[in-house]
A and B are shown apart, each in its own frame.
Chain A
Amino acid sequence: MIRIANGQGFWGDWLEAPVRLVEDGRIDYLILDYLAEVTMSIVQKQKQADPKLGYARDFPPLIGRIAARMKERGVKVIANAGGVNPLACADEVRRLAPQLKVAVVLGDDVFDRIGDFQARGIELRNLDTNEPLREVAGEITSANAYIGAFPLAEALATGADVVIAGRSTDTALALAPMIHAFGWKSDDYDKMAAGTIAGHIVECGAQCTGGNCIADWKTIPDFANIGYPIIEAHEDGSFVITKHGGTGGRVSIDTVKEQLLYELGDPKRYIGPDCIADFTTVRLRDDGPNRVHVSGIRGAAPTEFLKVSISYLYGFKATGTLVYSWPEALEKAKAADSIVRMRLKALGLQFEEICTEYFGANACHGPAAPPIPHPAEIMLRIGVRDKNKKSVDRFTRELIPLVLNGPPTATGYGDGRPAVREVVAYWPALIPRGEITTRVEVAQ
């Protein structure tokens, strides 16, 4: 049996979680998931500004902080912290933790190969809209293939203490140590699926240990010291989801089910680089306090393609808010919205989209929200998006004047006019597997 803990559900997750996982009990592998789709374009920009950057900057200091304990307890770290510059990330890790052996997985970054793909007829059509990529070709800000668990397992086989990847899938981080420790073969699809679903359960950190849990949330103990998840993985593909003793939160059938359903598409076809996993085969059993046993998972062969995540500059947006107090708060906010729209129209400004929401009334659930007859206050929030930056910038001037020249009791304008933000959009596509060759480098 091996213990695989996840200490980071995204870049920006709780900094103490991975430290506590290493300190508070026994684990063999610590996995850390840093990358979201937008993250890649952010790190690409950082690299363009400074060739020594372009990775998750929280990661090297974390390894510096836990290096002594890792060495003492034999804990290995696997992280997709490399962003678009895994070698620079590895250099910084070795500077801060010179006693650790660091391996890097390369080959996911295809930013420089897009033109070559298109020249050879690989159109990289959008998975959702089926449009070919050439529509946005000039404005691409990053492009990465989602690589699977085997390159990470190969990196573990070098005896590395720290494995750094770029855009590996979140679930591959958990499957890789199982492949490494148990010698699983790539055509044992049930085991590939078991490791993938184990990875899915833990990939959002505390979201399977009581965080963001709707079921009986008020009875979940000690959120302040919530324990992050641990997979106790067995060679036969069964596993237990648990957490360290003495930590807060909860692991139960309910908390695990909620995370199983999170960001799920067709449950019979969860498509990843290593297999297609079938979520309708998952069997859960209560295995004592804060322990859920998972078994029965079936999988099938993966497709001939890998997913590629491409980001591109889309345009600009801005959102601003004003607060109206009781009485008639919602009526005043609605009047203000209509005034803003009339003034934008009078200026001849057109937007791809204008979106108005009334916080306190129905911003989250729209027509499904229960009516509130006399809200104490309502926050008006208006957003616009367009390719034309000047139009978006002009919009940002139209909210604060309402404090003096619109309906009464407007407040909450203290942060000034809203900022214009660049919109980097995401283009999911497929690429034939054979186009992507990964390699492992042990940093010297």
Chain B
Amino acid sequence: MKIPLSKIAHGRSGDKGDMSNIGIIAYDERHYPILVREVTAGRVKQYYGEMFDGKVERYELPNLGALNFLCYGALGGGGTLSLRIDAQGKTLAAGLLGMEIDVDESELSR
């Protein structure tokens, strides 16, 4: 079945120059493998489409049940150069939590 990522995860995002980092964290660490399977760098890049000029890299933090995405060229120039309202990428984690993921019901009850 399809559920929004926000059902099983929370997160926080911020900036490093023109790169935004998006941290996505499983509420229940037993759901971390679902994040690893469903929330790939490619899907994040596709989800934000034209907003991201560059690549997306993913890093794993199994100790926190969390993934960290580095999104290059994601902030319209970044820092003081950017003309965007969210020049620091503060809202990008909340936005990504709206992405739909595929899960089996049994994975959630486990």
Contact = CB atoms under 8 A, between A and B. Distances in A.
Interface in A101-128: 128
Given A257-B64, A261-B66, A267-B59, A368 B98 contact: yes
A263 B89 CA distance: 10
A364 B99 CA distance: 15
Interface in A37-63: 37-38
B79 A425 contact: yes
Contact of A367 (B15, B50, B76): B50
Contacts, number: 137
A261 B50 contact: no
Interface in B54-110: 59-66, 68, 70, 76-77, 79-81, 83-86, 90-99
Interface residues of B, number: 46
B49 A368 contact: yes
Interface in A264-292: 264-268, 279-284
B86 A363 contact: yes
Decide if the interface of chain A is mainly helix, strand, loop or mixed. mixed
B12 A280 contact: no
A68 to B, nearest CB: 37
Contact of B81 (A263, A381, A425): A425
B10 A215 contact: yes
A357 B85 contact: yes
Given A266-B59, A367-B48, A38 B80 contact: yes
Nearest to B96: A368
A355 B17 CA distance: 18
A258 interface: yes
Contacts of B64: 257, 260-261, 279, 282, 284
A263 B61 contact: no
A334 to B, nearest CB: 16
A167 interface: no
Contact of B83 (A266, A317, A424): A317
Nearest to B21: A264
B59 A385 contact: no
B3 to A, nearest CB: 15
Nearest to A321: B85
Contact of A214 (B68, B70, B76, B97): B97
B15 A258 contact: no
A255 to B, nearest CB: 10
A38 B87 CA distance: 14
A438 interface: no
A268 to B, nearest CB: 8
Contact of B16 (A265, A357, A369, A381): A265
B18 A262 contact: no
A214 B26 CA distance: 12
Given A264-B68, A280-B61, A367 B81 contact: no
B85 A283 contact: no
A279 B23 CA distance: 13
Contacts of A213: 10
Given A261-B68, A355-B76, A368-B99, A128 B18 contact: yes
B78 to A, nearest CB: 9
A385 B82 CA distance: 9
Given A215-B27, A265-B70, A282-B63, A368 B17 contact: no
Contacts of B65: 257
Closest 9 CB pairs of A and B: A261-B23, A383-B83, A355-B83, A365-B95, A366-B51, A215-B10, A263-B14, A367-B49, A258-B12
Interface of B: 10-12, 14-18, 21, 23, 25, 27, 47-51, 59-66, 68, 70, 76-77, 79-81, 83-86, 90-99
6 contacts: A214-B97, A258-B25, A261-B23, A261-B66, A279-B61, A366-B51
Given A384-B83, A423-B80, 20 more contacts: A38-B79, A38-B80, A215-B25, A215-B27, A254-B27, A258-B23, A261-B11, A264-B23, A265-B70, A267-B61, A282-B64, A317-B81, A317-B83, A353-B76, A354-B83, A365-B91, A366-B51, A368-B48, A368-B96, A426-B17
